Chains A and B, each alone.
Chain A
Amino acid sequence: MNSSNGLRVVVTGIGSISPLGHNAVDFWDALSNGRSGIGTTTCVDPALLNIKICAEVKNYDPLTHFSDRELLLLDRFSQFALIAAKEAIADSGLDFRSDLGIETACITGTGAGGFITLDESFEKMYRQKAQRIHPMTIPKQMVSAATSQITMKHGIRGPSYSVSSACSSANHAIGDAYWMIRAGRARAAVTGGSEASLTLGAIRAWESVRVMAPDTCRPFTKNRKGMVLGEGAGIVVLEELEHAKKRGARIYAEVCGFGMSADAGDIVVPSEDGAAAAMRQAIKTSGLNADQFDYINAHGTGTGANDGCETRAIKKAFGEHARKLAISSTKSMHGHALGGAGAIEMVGVVKAVAEGVMPPTANYDVPDPECDLDYVPNTARRKPIHGALSNSFAFGGLNAVVALKKFS
């Protein structure tokens, strides 16, 4: 299957809220300047934590975006999704209250859904012995809440659902939305992902997996000590090319392929074969040759296990061309937003392709012989990008890779 047997899909709107800012402009400014959003944890008392750093959305006051009435129904992960969706939809110029809304899909990914809502209500019940739980707890915490809220806010009435595949959630959502338009099942899609699960319980649970860095995230380096937890949302508007052209829309980039696979191996240890299979399928469905790709936004968590495995997988998928690829992990700046990560990174890749700027891997210090490719260390690189991949690999071995190319 290649792009000749399907409709073409382009990105016409982007939105973001992340540790690097509350919109896509600030996000890209930080990303292209190698600025990190990682800092001392404030959402939980650091005295209660062994790992005292994370990447939080900073200076965030929900009341500047929503009324107290609206907030009754909005977990933090839905708030983030709505903020990014509002920006992306306004950016696209589309109005889904028209008939287009019936032909528009809304598919978003999240790993944990309304974790904070559950945490707060169960804490009240278990510890404070509260007699009752707020009646909006269920619709607020459900994993699909963010998708529902976006459809309600913007009048999107086509195929809509949420996807959950741990750290690949957002990429699976974007891939599904892409296929839907490519197959003619939808004309447009609002897609991406959101995560907000920085609670005492969740951070301590991640600590016990022993994959978290105590100081910062240094992907692909010899000194890497693990990942840094993050939060936030990314949303993109995808549109069928002819529809976008007809209305004279600004086109950022083309989504041209998507690959998925399952390792069917270990629940936490990644497999290079699984990752390589997803990349190969993304390349194959893109209609591009492997040597037409210039950039990969890596999964690049900064853990001992991932970065070496991902490097080997890239070599398997690209062969000799792997040495010519520029690869960066922007998680070194925005942290790992788990189910939302692929969406935050998607906004970065879309901008990278559109601007011809490869964002760097920040905190890159000592090279690791196990990771011997070009990781765009510390400084962004201005270079035209023809084809690009955005990698997401999840605990449980669920892999999802989106292929993009410069629109022409």
Chain B
Amino acid sequence: MDEVQEKIFDIIAKEARLDRALLKPEEKLTDLKIESLDMVQILFGIEDEFDIYVPQDQESFKLETLSDVVSGVKRLIAEKQAASPAKPGAA
């Protein structure tokens, strides 16, 4: 099970009030007809969950399909960890 993807799908389902079971990685965000307010809530929820900053421009963070979002978030998590590696013994 992909933990990052599961969490992102949870956030999208909750904020856009969509049926969680219907979310598929290849799905386009435009096809889900997510309202702008909900999209802002989703990005805020993702930032909060993973403690990252999601850039606004599409070149740095593609927002076409759900798998784009998942891979973008994974990349941001990896960048963050590389910038401040966990200290030994830290939780």
Chain A residues with CB under 8 Å of chain B are: 72-73, 131-132, 134-136
Contacts and interface: CB of A to CB of B under 8 A. Distances in A.
Given A135-B40, A135-B43, 14 more contacts: A72-B37, A72-B41, A73-B37, A131-B47, A131-B51, A132-B44, A132-B47, A132-B48, A132-B53, A134-B44, A135-B41, A135-B44, A136-B37, A136-B40
Interface in B29-83: 37, 40-41, 43-44, 47-48, 51, 53
Contacts of B40: 135-136
A131 B44 CA distance: 11
Contacts of B41: 72, 135
Mostly helix, strand, loop or mixed at chain A's interface?
A: loop
B40 to A, nearest CB: 4
A134 B53 CA distance: 13
A377 B41 CA distance: 53
Nearest to A73: B37
A196 B41 CA distance: 25
Contacts of A132: 44, 47-48, 53
A131 B53 CA distance: 9
5 contacts: A72-B37, A73-B37, A132-B48, A135-B40, A135-B44
A216 to B, nearest CB: 44
Contacts of B51: 131
A136 B37 CA distance: 9
A263 to B, nearest CB: 43
Contacts of B53: 132
Nearest to B17: A69
Nearest to A69: B17
Contacts of A72: 37, 41
A296 to B, nearest CB: 45
A132 B45 CA distance: 11
B54 to A, nearest CB: 10
A4 B65 CA distance: 65
Contacts of A135: 40-41, 43-44
A19 B37 CA distance: 33
B3 to A, nearest CB: 21
A73 B44 CA distance: 14
Nearest to A72: B41
Nearest to B43: A135
A356 to B, nearest CB: 48
A136 B42 CA distance: 12
A398 to B, nearest CB: 36
A134 B43 CA distance: 11
Contacts of A73: 37
A368 to B, nearest CB: 54
Contacts of B44: 132, 134-135
